[in-house]
């Protein structure tokens, strides 16, 4: 179940960053204390991942990494 939630969270983030990049490219202004970081994240996502697809075979190895798994408190 956690793998499904992680994938859904990743898809939601990708959709948010895609929409942010499109709005910024269309001329929408962003202001506030985190505006630079927001614009940088949208631009980096657009430059690095635009048009790519992460299928199940490529998604699975990211879950095999120990550092990405949720750990139970001791």
Q: What is the 3-state secondary structure (H, E, C) of the chain?
A: CHHHHHHHHHHHHHHHHHHHHHHHHCCCCCCCCCHHHHHHHHHHHHHHHCCCCCCHHHHHHHHHCHHHCCCCCC
Q: Is residue 73 part of a domain?
A: no
Q: Is residue 30 part of a domain?
A: yes
Q: Is residue 74 part of a domain?
A: no
Q: Is residue 13 part of a domain?
A: yes
21-66 per-position pLDDT tens digit: 999 999 999 999 999 999 999 999 888 887 777 666 555 444 444 4
Q: Is residue 59 part of a domain?
A: yes
Total domain count, the chain: 1
Output 54 or 12, whichever has higher pLDDT: 12
What is the span of the domain harbouring residue 63? 2-68
pTM over 0.75: no
Specify the pLDDT at position 11.
Answer: 83
CA–CA separation, 12 and 6 (whole Å)? 10
Average pLDDT over residues 9-30: 90
């Amino acid at each position: 179940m956690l793998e499904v939630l992680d994938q859904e969270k990743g898809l939601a983030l990708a959709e948010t960053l895609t929409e942010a990049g499109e709005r910024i490219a269309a001329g929408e202004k962003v202001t506030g204390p985190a505006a630079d970081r927001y614009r940088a994240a949208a631009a980096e996502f657009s430059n690095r991942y635009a048009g790519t697809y992460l299928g199940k075979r490529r998604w699975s190895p990211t879950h095999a990494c120990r550092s990405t798994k949720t750990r139970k408190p001791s």
